[in-house]
Amino acid sequence: MTSTPKASKESTNVCNKTINRRNKHLLSQIQVSSGSSTAATGVQTRKIIKSLDEDTRRDILNEANIESIEIGPAQMVAMKSDLGIPWEKLKSMSR
């Protein structure tokens, strides 16, 4: 068992060094619970991000300079026919 320290201050009110230390602790906890491989950590991190509501997720991705795109139904049909992408992959791309 491991113990997770309780934050006495929120991350918005602390210095970058404290945020980096907290981030390292969270990453080590993810590795302990999901596995140490890069793929396992990626899957767990994606699941955490997807568990957030859409506005929070969009804010996090914008702050990290990760652009999101919206694919409309007509574009999905065009991609399916032009690129030969199966519907299952199109569905996961549109999320």
pLDDT value of position 51: 92
pLDDT value of position 81: 83
**Structural contact between residues 80 and 87, judged by C-beta atoms closer than 8 angstroms:** yes
pLDDT value of position 94: 67
Prediction pTM value: 0.54
Residues of the chain with pLDDT under 70: 1-4, 94-95
Helix, strand, coil % over all residues of the chain, rounded to 5: 70, 0, 30
- The Cα–Cα gap between 14 and 87 comes to 46
pLDDT value of position 95: 63
- The Cα–Cα gap between 2 and 38 comes to 22
**Structural contact between residues 4 and 29, judged by C-beta atoms closer than 8 angstroms:** yes
- The Cα–Cα gap between 54 and 60 comes to 10
pLDDT value of position 2: 64
**Structural contact between residues 75 and 83, judged by C-beta atoms closer than 8 angstroms:** no
pLDDT value of position 1: 59
C-alpha dist (Å) from residue 51 to 14, 41, 56, 58: 25, 15, 10, 12
